[in-house]
Amino acid sequence: MPRLVSHPDEVKIVSRRFGQGAAEMDRYLELGGYQSAKKCLEQGPDWIIAEMKASGLRGRGGAGFPTGMKWSFVPKQSDKPKFVVVNGDESEPGTCKDHLIFLHDPHSVIEGAIIAGLAIGAKQGFIYLRGEYRYLLKIMEKAVAEAYAHGFLGSHIFGSDTEFQIITQTGAGAYEVGEESALMESVEGKRGVPRIKPPFPALVGLYGGPTVINNAETIATVPHVIAMGAAAYAAVGSERNGGTRLFSLSGHVERPGVYELPMGYNLKKMIYEVGGGVRGGRGLKAVIPGGCSTPVLLPEEIDIGMDYDQVAKAGSMLGSGGVVVIDDQTCIVEFAMRTISFYQHESCGWCIPCREGTDWLKKTLTRFHAGFGEAKDIDNIQHIAENMAGRTFCPLGDAAAGPILGFVKKFRKEFEEHLEGKPCPFARHGEPAVV
């Protein structure tokens, strides 16, 4: 059972029910559960979408697309059935927030999915969990069964003529199926490779029907937006970035954990005050602000607000909100090698720049870090990464290339220090850090 952390600066909205037994239906109802869905059923789709737009809620899966706008793209009339898909694949290294929602507050995901269904006129929802979260499937399935038993799901939700059904399922453990179109392939029982876009899921999605696909945190936030009102929710965050988000703070920090902070919260403050500073009083070398796909920031670049726009202005991305703190005893070449090893392993192999590029980068960085690098390798690493970025079928290629380019650009000297057969300057006890 993961330990819950807290800090006085937190504004608990989506994590409000964590640790309070809300996985049980009675407790969820006691804490105000299913009231938002009921209200949305009364108010209708246009009202729901207007509220979501006014809330400033932006998707918590990575790209930060405005949720209300995404829902408004779904055509009102459709010959094909419409669908809601909850993306609980959560595989981005450094990100561990969605699993807390499934664990502590599964009904909020169901309630959010019902509201999304009401907004777009879908009768069927899917809750998709990453393969490694199989143990959470039991919790979700129990919650779904309880929701059916209470009449919140089914052919006549809340005693009305409106239908909404939910199916839960897991993947088999692949990072790529977190990408929305690959996830839909997986739901359909096919190999998890992405689809060509356009068409986008809002028009042609699951089983060819108009589909809204949202991250689990986005969906779990929806009932709270309805309960507190769009304006109140928007007011918690920063400009164009409504509300709060769950930040997964990890790496070399004294108090790692998942903290719910207002959008726009200062990154430096998050590390030094919320997280208690760098572990063991060491110096800070770098910070990954939004999961391992996002380019690294230097200590002098972290005095910024954590919202989509401010982090982008600083040259990186807010991504999935996974903040990884890197201390001054860490070898960046090794960090880059480990990062690319992940992407090389997870590349689905569908397109060449990603399949070959991640493999070349992994091989080059492994050789380089082991002390067999040549000066030309540094430019070559950069050259390969540059030729992957923007040239792949899905954004996994960019996710792999972006961080590597950042490491080489900002830590070139450290790469040069590995040259000429010298041992890794950060090797512990005189041993190479990686053999």
- Where along the sequence are the contacts to ligand FMN (CB under 6 A)? 59-63, 65, 70, 87, 89-92, 175-176, 178-180, 213-215, 218, 394-396, 399
Nearer to ligand FMN, 174 or 287 (CB): 174
Reading the block at residue 370, the tokens are: 């082991």
From the CB of 298, what's the least distance to ligand FMN, in Å? 26
The 387-406 contact track toward ligand SF4, x by CB under 6 A, reads -----xxx-xx---------
- 397 binding partner (options ligand FMN, ligand SF4, none; Cβ < 5 to 8 Å by kind): ligand SF4
Q: Which residue is nearest to ligand SF4 (CB)?
A: 354
> Is the CB of residue 420 less than 8 Å from the CB of residue 390?
no
- 382 binding partner (options ligand SF4, ligand FMN, none; Cβ < 5 to 8 Å by kind): none
Which residue in this structure is represented by tokens 């391992």?
292
Nearer to ligand FMN, 33 or 62 (CB): 62
The 354-383 contact track toward ligand SF4, x by CB under 6 A, reads xx----------------------------
From the CB of 423, what's the least distance to ligand FMN, in Å? 35
Cα 429–432–435 angle (5° rounding)? Answer: 135
Residue 39, classified by CB atoms within 10 Å of its CB into exposed (0-12), middle (13-18) or buried (19+), is middle
- 60 binding partner (options ligand FMN, ligand SF4, none; Cβ < 5 to 8 Å by kind): ligand FMN
How many residues bind ligand SF4 (CB under 6 A)? The answer is 14
DSSP line for 306-338: ESHHHHHHTTS--TT-EEEEEETTS-HHHHHHH
- 350 binding partner (options ligand FMN, ligand SF4, none; Cβ < 5 to 8 Å by kind): ligand SF4
Beta strands in 144-226 (DSSP E): 165-170, 211-215
29 C-beta neighbours (distance < 10 Å), count: 16
Angle between helices 216-228 and 45-55 (to 10 degrees): 100
340 binds ligand SF4 (CB under 6 A): no
- 393 binding partner (options ligand FMN, ligand SF4, none; Cβ < 5 to 8 Å by kind): ligand SF4
Reading the block at residue 122, the tokens are: 């879908």
From the CB of 125, what's the least distance to ligand SF4, in Å? 26
DSSP line for 32-69: TTTHHHHHHHHH-HHHHHHHHHHHT-B-SSSS--BHHH
- 73 binding partner (options ligand SF4, ligand FMN, none; Cβ < 5 to 8 Å by kind): none
CA dist., res. 80 & res. 88, Å (int): 25
CA dist., res. 269 & res. 267, Å (int): 5
Residues of this chain that interact with ligand SF4 (CB under 6 A) are 176, 194, 347-351, 354-355, 392-394, 396-397
